[in-house]
Structure 1
Amino acid sequence: MKIFLLLLLSSHFAFSVKHSLKYITTASSGLPDFPEFVAAAVVDDNLLVYCDGNEKIIEPKHEWVKKVLEDDPQHLELYNSACFEWDPTYFKATINSLKQRFNQSRGVHILQRVTGCEWDDETGEIIGFNQYGYDGEDFISIDLKTETWIAPKQQAVITKLRWDTNKARMKYNQNFLTVIYPEWLKMYLDYGRSSLLRTELPSVSLLQKTPSSPVSCLATGFYPHRASLVWRKDGEELHEEVDHGEILPNHDGTFQMSVDLNLSSVTPEDWTRYDCVFQLSGVKEDIVTKLEKDRIRTNEVKPSNMTVLVTAAVVVLALILIGAAGFIVYKKKKAISPPSCK
């Protein structure tokens, strides 16, 4: 299944403050060096809890997560049951069933599920989701509005028909996706407020590989990921001649993003009309970086005076050696030439 990081972006001028809770479960078959069952709890793309079904390990990733589990033993018990009892058995049986349905007898097979909710803390809107993928493709997902399941593949239709008629299963999903998960999400945000609700401003740099390459505006080290990075000309946001990159995670839990500006049709005199603007959700002031030649970092290595002198010396020395070699060859030929007939 195509699992994408849920980057909660909006326009440059207004951000909808949204938070998400995801439970990502992966079961595998035919991978001897990989656990048959792993799961993770993620809030706003921050890993909170990791579960290894083979090793019987539940690993909280933050001190405040340990505090949650200590304060709420039933919460920990739910994790234990899901990681070591219910889900491993269910997912293993499901993979075996799908292998038969897809007429597969061997090979590597992956079953994934992403379930959870998204909550807008300004409007109160809650969006629940529960979707399955098999061998890298979408298999089946829930539609809470119609109270039905969506089956994009023919092999999933039999599952859809069975689950559509199971009203108890639908009510169970609705309760978790729209009531229980949002409550857990708010609890996590409250316990982890110092880290999950923090703001960190980035460092912004202008980069260019060669004088003819686009100028890249890179912002790195910001948090949260609800951010905007744009090029402007005369104060107006540009939509042409720009290439927006994705928001990517850094190893320290912060994020980075870049946007490229093609300057092939821009004269040097007009550079001062351009600037790169970064905006972070919850922060009123923008970070504005003017497009100026001395601000750009480049990979191009400009020859120093010493390099020029050394290069000239090498050329001169080469010419001397060539001349000397030619003179020696000339002398040898003259020494062995036959006497004149005159």
Structure 2
Amino acid sequence: MKISCVLLLLINLQHVRTDLQYDSCSYWTSSKGYGLPEFTERRVLNDVTVYYYDSRTRSKTPCPDWINTTAGKDEWGIIHHWSDYNKDFFTLGFQSASKQFNQTGSLSDQNIYQGSGCCSLYPNGTYRGFLTSAFNGKDFLSLDISSRMFVAAVPQAVVYKNLKERDPATINVLAAFYKTRCLDRLNIFKQAPEVLIRKAPEVRIFEQQKADSITVTCHVTGFYPRVIQVVWLGPDLQPVDEGVTDVLPNEDGTYQTRKSVIVPEEDVGEHTYSCVVLHSSVPDNITRVWGGEKAGGMAVWISLVCICLLAAGIGLVVWWRCRTRDAVI
């Protein structure tokens, strides 16, 4: 039975580990009225910015010293070249969205068009890429990489979709990039010194008593990079889904998060719950187990401990007195 439980636990951990990802993402923004540059481009790997460009300063991040291969330098030159194209691409999207949503007059004072393109490499070897955009915080247009067609999220995006699909050559380039070439760029960015930094998380468990249950929280802090997976495993060693939790920054540049599970009062003291933390800074995982105790049971144990300590104290005094007496005699 014990071996079966251990195998089941390992299977669950293996499943959880595939949820971790290595992301190389590009973020583009065309805006008006927010005090931002008209266009910005930022390329990051797991939240580490490796390239930045904006239309206000017109300065592009130069090729860093850690890129020391010809292929890497060539790729950096391509990034510089595409920044100019991306500016025109997203400015056109901004103008089309503003027009189709009839954002004229005072409504045109503040608008923002955002795009993101990512490729994700998972520890199990699988790979995923996507390209999508949004207008004023709502989905607008995305690229279906397989069919090489744009997908309009709202009717107002159909005009821009049709406009972009008049240029199949560019669509083919984009689809090919997010299918394979983005992975090559990810491997280059992985060499950035900031990306190689690793800080292991500190994990602790605390509980909060409620009327008919206990909320048990797994608090994880001090880790870097940001990508982390925190999972509660219940009595049957199955993941306990308590919703998505936010990862927040600490003042020292590391991150923190927490995840809670609600334990019914009838289960307290009867079952154990395990908080499993997976992070790139540790080779395997960090696991903290919470067993809980019923109030009455805890009181009994405290009493027993006190009695044992008292008995041990009395025994020590008797032994010392006997030894002293023997020494005098």
Q: Could you state the TM-score of these two structures normalised by the residue count of structure 1?
A: 0.67
Measure how far apart 1:218 and its partner are: 0.9
In the alignment of these two chains, the number of paired residues is 272
Match of 1:118 in 2: 120
Find the aligned partners of 2:123 and 2:219 in 1 and give their Cα distance.
29
Match of 1:332 in 2: none
Using the aligned pairs only, state the percent identity: 19
Match of 1:143 in 2: 144
Find the aligned partners of 1:214 and 1:223 in 2 and give their Cα distance.
27
Determine if contact 1:205/1:217 at 8 Å carries over to the other structure.
Answer: yes
Measure how far apart 1:150 and its partner are: 0.9
Matches within 5 A, 1:14-33: 14=15, 15-16=17-18, 18-31=21-34, 33=35
Determine if contact 1:151/1:160 at 8 Å carries over to the other structure.
Answer: yes
Q: Which has the larger radius of gyration?
A: 1
Find the aligned partners of 1:247 and 1:67 in 2 and give their Cα distance.
32
Residues 100-140 of structure 1: per-residue CA shift (max 9 Å, x gap): 222111221111111132234643x4322111111111111
Find the aligned partners of 1:245 and 1:90 in 2 and give their Cα distance.
34
Determine if contact 2:37/2:56 at 8 Å carries over to the other structure.
Answer: yes
Match of 2:111 in 1: 109
Letter in 2 for 1:290: W
- Secondary structure at 1:243 match in 2: coil
Match of 2:234 in 1: 232
Measure how far apart 1:228 and its partner are: 3.2
Find the aligned partners of 1:41 and 1:56 in 2 and give their Cα distance.
16
Residues 169-208 of structure 1: per-residue CA shift (max 9 Å, x gap): 221112322233211111122x23x653565432112234
- 2:35 pairs with 1:36: no
- Secondary structure at 1:104 match in 2: coil
Determine if contact 1:113/1:130 at 8 Å carries over to the other structure.
Answer: yes
Distance 1:272 1:199, change over 3 A: farther
Find the aligned partners of 2:87 and 2:144 in 1 and give their Cα distance.
25
Deviant stretches of 4+, over 6 Å: none
Matches within 5 A, 1:108-257: 108-120=110-122, 122-123=124-125, 125-189=126-190, 191-192=191-192, 196=195, 200-208=199-207, 214-223=215-224, 225-233=227-235, 236-237=237-238, 239=240, 243-251=242-250, 252=252, 254-257=254-257
Q: Could you state the TM-score of these two structures normalised by the residue count of structure 2?
A: 0.69
Match of 1:56 in 2: 58
Determine if contact 1:69/1:75 at 8 Å carries over to the other structure.
Answer: no
Measure how far apart 1:229 and its partner are: 2.5
Determine if contact 1:199/1:223 at 8 Å carries over to the other structure.
Answer: yes
Determine if contact 2:28/2:115 at 8 Å carries over to the other structure.
Answer: yes
Distance 1:57 1:140, change over 3 A: same
Measure how far apart 1:153 and its partner are: 0.8
Letter in 1 for 2:232: V
Residues 195-246 of structure 1: per-residue CA shift (max 9 Å, x gap): 535654321122345665622111122345242331433x63463xx63442
Determine if contact 2:230/2:278 at 8 Å carries over to the other structure.
Answer: yes
- Secondary structure at 1:35 match in 2: coil
Q: Which runs of 5+ in 2 are unaligned?
A: 1-10, 294-329
Q: Which runs of 5+ in 1 are unaligned?
A: 1-9, 294-342
Find the aligned partners of 1:69 and 1:134 in 2 and give their Cα distance.
39
Distance 1:199 1:90, change over 3 A: closer
Distance 1:232 1:165, change over 3 A: same
Letter in 1 for 2:26: Y
Find the aligned partners of 1:187 and 1:280 in 2 and give their Cα distance.
21
- Secondary structure at 1:214 match in 2: strand
- Secondary structure at 2:158 match in 1: helix
Match of 1:5 in 2: none
Residues 222-279 of structure 1: per-residue CA shift (max 9 Å, x gap): 345242331433x63463xx634425143455443322232452476x1774443334
- Secondary structure at 2:277 match in 1: strand
- Secondary structure at 2:179 match in 1: helix
- Secondary structure at 2:86 match in 1: helix
CA-based RMSD = 3.4
Distance 1:266 1:58, change over 3 A: farther
Find the aligned partners of 2:128 and 2:270 in 1 and give their Cα distance.
44
Determine if contact 1:25/1:113 at 8 Å carries over to the other structure.
Answer: yes
- Secondary structure at 1:40 match in 2: strand
Measure how far apart 1:93 and its partner are: 3.7
Measure how far apart 1:35 and its partner are: 1.8
